[in-house]
Structure 1
Amino acid sequence: MSFLFQSLLSIGLPLVALPLVIHLINLRRHQKVNWAAMDFLLESQKRNKKWIMLRQLLLLLLRTSAIALAVLMLAGPVLMSQWGSLLGSGVTHHVLLVDDSYSMADRSQDSTGWDEAKRAVSQILQQATAKAGTQKITLLRFSSATDLSAGNELKFASRTLDRETIEAINSALESEPVTETAAGPSEAFQAALALPESETGESRIAYVISDFRSTQWTDNNQTRQLLGQLRQQVADMHLVQCVDLTHPNLAITRLEPESGIRAAGVETWMEVSVSNFGDQAAVAVPVAVTQDGHKLPAVEFDEIAPGQTVTRRFRISFPDAGPHQLTAQLPSDALATDNSRYFACDVPNSFPLLVIDGSGAGDDSYYLRTALSPGGSAKPGWSPRVEPASFLRNHDQLEKFAAIFLLDVPRLDESEVSALEDYIRSGGGVAIFLGTEVQRSFYNEQLYRDGTGIMPVELDVPNQLLSVGDEETPDVEVEDHPVFRIFSGQRNSFLSVAKVNFYYAIKHLQDLPGDTRVLARLRNDAPFVVEKKLGKGRVVVQLCKLSPSPTTLGVWSNWCVNPVFPVVANELAGYLTAARRNFEVREVGSELSFNLAEDEYQPEVIVRAPQSGQEEVLNLSTRIEGGNYEVDAGKGNVSGIWQFELSPLQQANARKFIAVNVAPSEGDLNLLDRENLSAQLEGIDYRYSIASQLTASEDQLAGFRLGDTFLALLVIALIAEQCLAYKASYHGGVGGSSR
């Protein structure tokens, strides 16, 4: 016989001695009083002493038995013998919650955590089939928990356990390997709590088969709370740990362009980040890079400290327009799943830019267009288009531009301001260059708007930057920012030739909000370039006129004729357009869906999944909104480059790539051992086992519950105790007298 709540035995069984203690205490309270008739009573006591002692012993035995039966009943006795079917209920429901997130692919020698999980499931099934009574099984994989909320059903839910069911479960686990998801225990517990309630007489046992990683279990109040709720609904809970050692692991956690992709033929800086989840430094780590199937020079990491993430930059160039892919690969280690990371993008020939020039002679746009698109053999990848301010009223056309530049624009009407603000909040980038035409009151009242508008600062009057007689101090000092990377290191000498004569001062310099940042300052510490984040987009303001043409005040600066200004202008355009030049990178488990214009494409798409290369033909239906086809390939449950073959109406077939990557956090293989897990789950009653040590004879939970039987015995014992106590003259007679 075993018990579902063994901890209650250690607390309750000592209470069995309570009637004996009370009896002994009462004996000490008796006092000797000699009186005349005492000899007759002593003689009578001698004749009835044996019968009185027997009744007292029987009464004491019944009272101790009543306490023992109450404790045993609450402890949940389970009898494994066939004889238990005569006394208790015989339906045991095993609920198996199996972790199949990709950390379970952690390899140690010739086995993985997933191998140990499958072995544990097999052992539990063998244990259950060896027991008497009806056995049921429900198998819930962590990765399928979210599918249940969408209305899907479990494949193995409340199935009667027989040989056919066992073979089906083992076959399913073998044919469906560990997933690449980062499915956690919380979703699985929520799904288990949503299962139908236990039937009358059913004993439900929950098994959590996992690797118990620190990132998912440490200080996770939600997981602990849900596990506690599940424990209250089941007769017992068994935690089975499939990995017993923490292995060092490196993971590629990021592969993205530094400031958005560039056009075809334009060099792009990419960033690759590697995280060290181990407890020792990793040295001389190479990352192999492949672009469109061609190997590039490896990116070397000299050293990555324990628990640290290091980022390196490397250059690439996509030679032609269209879809492109990039793969970064680490050498093999304990966990291969996170050693690869993928990137995909659709590269255009150029990105359109909208330029609104309000300067009198239109000279500001001349210098900007020359810097961004000089012509000739150069391929900067930008297509500047100069328009008047009224063009901003075309809301639908603004979305086609990667960024917008306002050059010395005097003012805008209300609809133009609204369109510009909507553009920024939706992810657009805007650069504002001030000048003599700017109407300061309009900018402060309508664009700054007490800090709620698109202007990052409130303007004061133009000031002159006075000479200090120190030729070694440059007029402009830049911060560490992607726009001004050209001035870093030895190239700082270019700043010495940048001259600024006039600039707009700003009000309330000490009260800049947290979403505003100064990117460049003048030598008198006055801001020169200021940035503000608004919604998903950003605004960069230069507090000086762009062109060096003379004005009523004089020449404002020679900034745009600096030898490196074309580089700064291109970096500024790249920085502003980064949010709108999206690349197709998603996480495993996310929906792979996008829209196609009905008037440009045929309603058929071929999907090729990575790794397996399996094809699926999707026949599309037109969505009601906007007349677009919706391409929905379901969830991307496999990492890699997903390829979509499109069928345009007026040209040859086209392709679209979507990169799907694993969640980086799942690569942290630090786990909780038995002691740390117990500390995290303090107050929750459970049993713990290591999967590699689990044997078919270990389970003692499947059997017949005898709670009702012990309750009946308790009632009988209490009735017998009352009757015997009455016979033993411990209850008052009629009228309150004693016999």
Structure 2
Amino acid sequence: MSFLLPTLLAFGLPLIAAPLVIHLINLRRHRRIEWAAMDFLLESQKRNKKWIVLKQLLLLLLRTAAIAAVVFMLAGPVIKSTWAGLFGRGVTHHLLLIDDSYSMTDHWDETSAFEQAKRVVAAVLEQAQGRSENQLVTLLRFSEARRLAAGAGPEIDRRPLDAALLAELERTLGEMKASETNAGPIDGLQAATRLPEAVEGETRIAYLVTDFRRPQWEEQAQLQQLMTELRERVGDLQLVQTVYDERPNLAITRLEPESGIRAAGVETWMELTVANYGKTPVAAVTVAVEQDGNRLPAVEFDEIPAGEKATRRFRVTFPTAGPHELTAGLESDAVLTDNKRYFAAEIPPVFPVLVIDGSANGDDGYYLRTALSPGGKNVGGWNPQVEPPSYLRNHEALANYAVIVLLDVPRLDDAEVEVLESYVRSGGGLAIFVGPQSQQPFYNDQLFADGAGLLPAPLNVPSQLLRDPSEAGADVRVAEHPIFRVFAGQRNSFLSVANVDFYYALDPNWKIPESGDVSAIATLRNGAPLALEKKFGEGRVLLHLAKLAPTPTDQGIWTNWSLNPVFPIYANELVGYLSATRRRFDVRGVDEPIKLALPEAAYLPEVKVRAPGVGESNATPIVAAAKEGVYEITAPGQPRSGVWRFELTTREGKPQVRYVAVNVPTGEGELAILPQSELAERLPGVEYRYALASEFTKADDELEGYQLGDAFLYALAAILIFEQLLAVSASYHPAAARSAA
């Protein structure tokens, strides 16, 4: 016989001595008093002493047995299958919860954490095979949890353990690999608690086989609640740890453009981030980079401190318009899954930019257009289109532009303001340069709108920047911001030649809000803001408080900003930064479906999908169904990391290719282990057994068979009834006095 809750025996069995202790205490309370009539009673007691003592002993034993029955009933006794036939037939249900997140690919000495998990599953099945009672098996992988949330069940669910299932499981275990997800114990436990309750006569044994990584066990309250709920639903809970030592690991956590992708033939700065999840710093880290299958110069990291991340920038140029891909890869370490990161984008020939020029002579638009598209061999990748303010009435056309720039625009009507707000709120970028034509009441009432509009701050009046001959230094001071990177560096003298004579001062009662949505990114030497940035919905607005062109006005020349030698670089960085959110790229995670939307009017429904590493001959053909004029194409199979290719055909019969990069989630490669002592602290009150996979033996065969909890309950009832009858028999009950006639 074995017990589901053996700990209760250690606390409960000593209580069996309670009746004896109470009896001894009562003896000490008796006082000896001699009196004559007592002699007759003593003589009678001597004659019946044996029978009285026997009754008292039986009564003591029954009371002791009652306490023992309560303790054994609560401890959950299980009788071995050899004797199960005396009480009925038992069912043992093995619930195997297997962690298959990609941290389980941690490998050492010709094995890995996931191989250790599969060894534990094989050990459970080996011991369960051939037992006389019914054996059921449910195998639930953590990566299945989200699918189960949608109402599906595990692939192997309450299957009888027979020869067919053993053969299937042997084949499944041989082919099973860790997923590329970061599904953790919370996912697995939630899925397990959604399974149906155990049926009558079923002994359910749950095995949680995982690597116990510290980051996945941080949600202490939720994990404790789920573990408690699972423990209440099973007869036994076993926690099996599949790793024994922490190994250092590096991971690529980011591969993205610094300020959005650029057009074909234009140099793009990419950012590459590597995380060091180890406990010691690493030096001379080399990351190999490939563009469209061609090797680029490697990215070098001198040193990455322990537990920190490092980011390096590198340049790449996509020579032609169309789909392109990048791959960055680290050398082999403990976990290979997070050593690669992918990027894919559809590179256009140019990005259109809408320039609304409201200046008196159209000079502001001329300088900006020339800086963005100088012509000749200087390719900026922008196609600036200079239009008057009335062009904003073409509301539907605005969505085609990467960014919109307002240059000294006097005012706009309500409809134009509304369409601009919608454009920025949906992710567009807007630059506003004010000047002598800008009407302060309109900007404050319609564009600022008490802080709810597009304008970052309310305007006051044009002001002159006074100079003190004794004061040295540049007129403009810039913050560390992407659009001002060209001015960075101690030896950079470009700011010293940037002169500002007039600027639009701000309302003196206004202060930068604490929300963080507005920030000053450039100031004048008198401390007044020159450039402010505001987050508006998904987009950005940048306000420049000085006229762009150096043309004389009634006040004089405002600034020579557009004559600065690096103004073309600044203009490109400005437009690039503001348009980054609209120049999206096709990068997704393995935990989301790989979908592609195509207009029905432009493409044929026949599509071929190639998963990473699959040749052209093995591409999967799909016939897309149109809904409301759009084809919704979902790649078949389980998403996995790499670059997926969609081969399309236009209505004109021209082939096209779209790339979608899929990456693994970050953070799963942090291999810090939660020690057994801390695990116990995080699961107070939860009864479980803990073992390492290398030391795991199937001791739970003692728990298989028929549960005797109900039998002990019936026995307790019988004991209590017999105890009451014996107590009445052993006690003295004088006959009731008869009433006088």
TM-score by length of 1: 0.97
- Indicate if the aligned counterparts of 2:594 and 2:639 stay in contact, CA closer than 8 A: no
Match of 2:224 in 1: 224
Q: Render the CA deviation track for 1:288-339: whole Å, top value 9, x for unaligned.
A: 1111111111111111111101001111111111111101110100100100
Q: Deviations over 1:187-218 (max 9, x none)?
A: 22222222222212212222111111111112
Give, in whole Å, the separation in 2 of the partners of 1:32 and 1:351: 111
Corresponding residue of 1:36? 36
Q: Distance in 1 between matches of 2:658 and 2:22?
A: 84
Q: Distance in 2 between matches of 1:733 and 1:286?
A: 102
What amino acid is aligned across from residue 618 of structure 1 in structure 2? I
Name the structure 1 match of 2:627. Answer: 623
Task: Give 3-state SS (helix, strand or coil) of 1:455's partner.
Answer: coil
Pair 1:312–1:576, CA change in 2 (3 A)? same
Q: Helix, strand or coil: the match of 2:494?
A: helix
Q: Cα offset for 1:509?
A: 4.6
Deviation of 1:363 (Å): 0.5
Aligned partners of 1:221 and 1:358: how far apart in 2? 60
Cα distance in 2 between the residues matched to 1:202 and 1:619: 48
Instruction: Note closer, same or farther for the CA distance 1:201–1:470 as it changes in structure 2 (3 Å cut).
Output: same
Of the three residues 597, 600, 612, the one matched with 1:598 is 600
Matched, 1:586 2:588: yes
Distance of 2:362 and 2:398 partners within structure 1: 21
* Cα shift at 1:706: 1.0
Aligned residue for 2:170? 170
* Residue 643 in structure 1 maps to residue 645 in structure 2: yes
Cα separation, 2, equivalents of 1:334 and 1:226: 30
Structure 2 equivalent of residue 252 of structure 1: 252
Equivalent in the alignment of 2:721: 719
**How far does residue 668 in structure 1 lie from its aligned partner after superposition?**
0.8
Look up the match of 1:24. Answer: 24
Work out the CA distance in 2 between the residues paired with 1:318 and 1:372.
19
Shift of 1:451: 0.6
Unaligned runs of 5+ in 1: none
Q: Which residue of 1 aligns with 2:73?
A: 73
How does 1:251-650 map onto structure 2 within 5 Å?
251-470=251-470, 472-490=472-490, 492-507=492-507, 508-513=509-514, 514-613=516-615, 614-624=618-628, 627-634=629-636, 637-650=639-652
Contact 1:59 1:725 in 2 (8 A): yes
Q: 1:539: Cα distance to partner?
A: 0.3
Q: Which residue identity does 1:372 align to in structure 2?
A: L
What amino acid maps onto 2:606 in structure 1?
Answer: E
More divergent stretch after superposition (654-663 vs 603-612): 603-612
Alpha-carbon distance between aligned partners in 2 of 1:681 and 1:541, rounded to the nearest angstrom: 54
1:102 is displaced (CA, Å) by: 0.8
Matches within 5 A, 1:683-722: 683-697=685-699, 699-722=701-724
Paired residues in the alignment total: 734
Larger mean Cα displacement after TM superposition, 361-370 or 48-57: 48-57
Q: Distance in 1 between matches of 2:688 and 2:18?
A: 29
> 1:145 maps to which residue?
145
SS in 2 for 1:493: coil
**Secondary structure of 2:577's partner?**
helix
In 2, the alpha carbon distance for the partners of 1:493 and 1:732 equals 118
Question: CA offsets, 1:479-501, max 9 Å, x none?
Answer: 11100000111453111110000
The percentage of counterpart residues that share the same residue type is 55
How far apart are the structure 2 equivalents of 1:368 and 1:104?
Answer: 54
Between 21-30 and 76-85, report the one with greater CA deviation: 76-85
- Conserved in 2, the CA contact under 8 Å of 1:589 and 1:635? no
The CA deviation at 1:393 is 2.8
The residue identity in structure 1 corresponding to 2:651 is: L
Once residues 731 and 202 of structure 1 are traced to their aligned partners in structure 2, the CA distance between those partners, rounded to angstroms, is: 49
User: 1:652: Cα distance to partner?
Assistant: 2.6
1:185-224 to 2 correspondences below 5 Å: 185-224=185-224
* Aligned-pair CA distance for 1:20: 0.9
- Provide the secondary structure at the position in 2 that maps to 1:280: coil
Amino acid across the alignment from 1:282: V
1:677 maps to: 679
Q: CA deviation at 1:173?
A: 2.4
SS of the residue aligned with 1:650?
Answer: coil
Q: What is the CA-CA distance between 1:149 and the residue it aligns to?
A: 2.6
Q: 1:720 Cα deviation (Å)?
A: 1.6
Q: For the Cα contact (< 8 Å) 1:239–1:686, is it kept in 2?
A: yes
Structure 2 CA distance for aligned equivalents of residues 110 and 429 of structure 1: 53
State the alpha-carbon separation in 1 of the partners of residues 379 and 72 from structure 2: 84
Determine the C-alpha separation between the residues in 2 that align with 1:170 and 1:97: 17
Query: What is the Cα deviation at residue 571 of structure 1?
Result: 0.3
1:397-420 deviation line (CA, Å, top 9, x unaligned) = 111100000000111111111100
Letter in 2 for 1:469: P
State the Cα distance separating 1:224 from its structure 2 match: 2.6
- 1:510 is paired with a residue whose SS is coil
CA contact (8 A) 1:499 1:557 kept: yes
Q: Which moved more, 1:152-161 or 1:396-405?
A: 152-161
- Per-residue deviation at 1:87? 2.4
RMSD over aligned Cα atoms: 1.7
Rounded to whole Å, the distance in 1 between the matches of 2:361 and 2:171 is 78
State the shift of 1:22 in Å: 0.9
| C-alpha spacing 1:174/1:733, structure 2 compared with 1 (3 Å) | farther
Partner SS state of residue 526, structure 2: coil
How many Å apart are 1:696 and its aligned residue?
4.1
Do the aligned partners of residues 163 and 697 (structure 1) sit closer, same or farther apart at CA in structure 2, a change above 3 Å counting?
farther
CA deviations 1:437-461 (Å, max 9, x no partner) are 1110111111111111010001111
Quick one: which amino acid aligns to residue 366 of structure 1?
A: Y
- Give the direction of change, closer, same or farther, for the CA distance of 1:301–1:173 in structure 2 (3 Å limit): same
- Contact preservation (8 Å) 1:593, 1:634: no
Alpha-carbon distance in structure 1 between the residues aligned to 2:221 and 2:129: 36
Q: Residue by residue, what CA displacement relative to the aligned partner does 1:222-243 show, whole Å, maximum 9, x if unpaired?
A: 2332222121122221111111
Separation of aligned partners in 1, 2:637 and 2:715:
57
Normalised by the length of structure 2, the TM-score is 0.97
The letter of the residue matching 1:703 is G
Tell me how far apart the structure 1 counterparts of residues 188 and 43 of structure 2 sit (CA, whole Å). 76
Return the alpha-carbon distance in structure 1 between the equivalents of residues 170 and 398 of structure 2.
57
Tell me, yes or no, if the aligned pair for 2:264 and 2:317 is still in contact at 8 Å. yes
Q: State how 1:38-53 maps to structure 2 within 5 Å.
A: 38-53=38-53
Unaligned runs of 5+ in 2: none
SS across alignment from 1:262: coil
Instruction: Judge conservation of contact 1:244–1:673 (CA < 8 Å) in 2.
Output: no
Q: Is the 8 A contact 1:455 1:539 kept in 2?
A: yes
Tell me, in whole angstroms, the C-alpha distance in 2 between the residues paired with 1:630 and 1:347: 22
Paired residue type of 2:409: V
**Letter aligned with residue 408 of structure 1:** D
Deviation larger for 190-199 or 429-438: 190-199
